[in-house]
């Protein structure tokens, strides 16, 4: 009788142990699957292309599930800043927002240990990363787009924007946009003054001189196509990634990056300290800045690559910040910009938007 009870007890113990192990394995497998899902906060542009050329290939390679959080850089950054429990594992931002986030200690510090492809950054991208601007994923710069038939002559210099012949005929990016501070740098150059030496005093003086030529400022580069079509403007300062869209509205539009140079802005990527899945986030960043991914999106998303191994043919280069244009692109100190932006916003609105 005792032997029978002992046998039954042993069987019961084995069953319970097996069940416990089974439940543990199920839980472990469930956690493993959960670890392979994450939220990526990114720009709300060309969503279909982003999914096809960036997200889907990553999901397939790492058996992962990526959910996108879409919107402009400023809104998404503000949401993350004000909500420490935001469910964001990776966030892509403008250089200005990324710089502010790193200054505020919102993002993880990474190295080649976590992201080996950091070794492949171009010199400019590496400088941005080392100066606390985040990990670059794309570079763009500004130039001048103009209607060569209506203006009747070539525009070759930033100084040409101040020509009285262009009175009421141009548009410039609003100070609140990514390209807005770059426009202030251009104005300071026109005044032959280093903008960091006077906190933009000379720049605003030149913007006041430019005001008669500016029919309106813009916040969306896509609006420029409509303005050109409607005959509201004949020239504009624009970021290179929007040039193809704008030029599609007219056969008489030309885009030029003055030989004197231009100013660069880097879109960047960071891992918030609140990220619930940092390991997968690092893999995503490493993939995002890989040679293969950078080459693909340089073509499909018209973005300047930041991986130094990427080579583009003359046709593929198009209007991107690449090659000679990249060599002429000067850096913007976004720590300086962020420190002065609130004051600049008020001055800009009084001069340009009234």
Among 177-181, 234-238, 287-291, name the one with the lowest average pLDDT.
177-181
pTM score, whole prediction:
0.85
Rounded to whole angstroms, the Cα distance separating 114 from 188 reads 40
Q: Where in the chain is the domain with CATH 3.40.190.10?
A: 33-139+266-330, 140-264+333-352
Class in CATH terms, 33-139+266-330:
alpha beta
Per-residue pLDDT at 199 exceeds 50: yes
Listed in sequence order, the residues at least 6 apart from 159 whose beta carbon sits closer than 8 Å to its beta carbon are: 190
DSSP 321: S
Q: Give 269-302 pLDDT, tens digit per residue.
A: 999 999 999 999 999 999 999 999 999 999 998 8
Q: Give 212-227 pLDDT, tens digit per residue.
A: 999 999 998 888 999 9
Q: Is 168 strand, coil or helix? A: coil
Listed in sequence order, the residues at least 6 apart from 265 whose beta carbon sits closer than 8 Å to its beta carbon are: 94, 95, 139, 140, 141, 178, 179, 182, 239, 332
**pLDDT confidence tier of residue 84, bands split at 50, 70 and 90:** confident
Cα–Cα nearest to 319, from 171, 182, 146, 143: 143
Q: Kindly report the average pLDDT of the chain as a whole number.
A: 90
Per-residue pLDDT at 8 exceeds 80: no
Per-residue pLDDT at 34 exceeds 70: no
Rounded to whole angstroms, the Cα distance separating 238 from 246 reads 10
Rounded to whole angstroms, the Cα distance separating 276 from 37 reads 10
Mean pLDDT across the stretch 73-101? 93
Selected from 1.10.357.10, 3.30.70.920, 3.40.50.2300, 3.40.190.10, the CATH number assigned to the domain covering 140-264+333-352 reads 3.40.190.10
Listed in sequence order, the residues at least 6 apart from 142 whose beta carbon sits closer than 8 Å to its beta carbon are: 173, 179, 182, 183, 186, 237, 238, 239, 240, 262, 263
Rounded to whole angstroms, the Cα distance separating 287 from 269 reads 12
- How confident is the model at residue 35, as a pLDDT? 63
Q: What is the largest CA-CA distance in the chain?
A: 111
State what percent of residues in the chain have pLDDT above 70. 90
């Amino acid at each position: 009788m005792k032997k029978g009870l002992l046998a039954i007890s042993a069987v019961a113990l084995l069953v319970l142990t097996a069940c416990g192990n089974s439940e543990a394995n199920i839980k472990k497998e469930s956690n493993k699957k959960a670890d392979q899902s994450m939220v990526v906060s990114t720009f709300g542009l060309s969503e279909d292309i982003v999914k096809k050329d960036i997200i889907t290939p990553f999901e397939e390679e790492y058996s992962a599930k990526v959910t996108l959080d879409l919107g402009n850089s400023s809104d998404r950054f503000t949401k993350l800043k004000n909500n420490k429990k935001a469910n964001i594992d990776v966030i892509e931002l403008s250089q200005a927002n990324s710089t502010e986030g790193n200054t505020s200690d919102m993002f993880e510090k990474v190295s080649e240990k976590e992201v080996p492809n950091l070794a492949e950054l171009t010199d400019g991208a590496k400088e941005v990363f080392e100066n606390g601007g985040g990990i670059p994923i794309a570079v763009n710069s500004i130039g001048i787009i103009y209607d060569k038939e209506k203006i009747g002559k070539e525009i070759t210099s930033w100084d040409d924007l101040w020509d009285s012949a262009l009175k009421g005929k141009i548009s410039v990016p609003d100070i609140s946009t990514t390209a807005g501070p770059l426009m202030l740098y251009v104005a300071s150059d026109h005044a032959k003054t280093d903008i960091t030496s006077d906190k933009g005093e000379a720049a605003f003086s030149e913007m006041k001189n430019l005001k008669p030529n500016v029919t309106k400022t813009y916040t969306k580069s896509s609006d420029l196509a409509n303005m050109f079509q409607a005959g509201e403007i004949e020239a504009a300062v624009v970021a290179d990634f929007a040039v193809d869209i704008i030029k599609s509205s007219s056969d008489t539009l030309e885009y030029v990056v003055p030989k004197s140079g231009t100013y660069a802005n880097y879109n960047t990527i960071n891992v918030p300290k609140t990220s619930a899945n940092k390991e997968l986030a690092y893999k995503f960043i490493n993939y995002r800045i890989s040679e293969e991914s950078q080459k693909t999106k340089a073509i499909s998303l018209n973005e300047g690559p930041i991986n130094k191994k990427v080579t583009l043919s003359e046709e593929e280069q198009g209007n991107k910040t690449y090659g000679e244009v990249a060599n002429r692109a000067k850096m913007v100190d976004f720590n300086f910009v962020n420190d002065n932006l609130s004051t600049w916003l008020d001055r800009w609105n009084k001069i340009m938007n009234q």
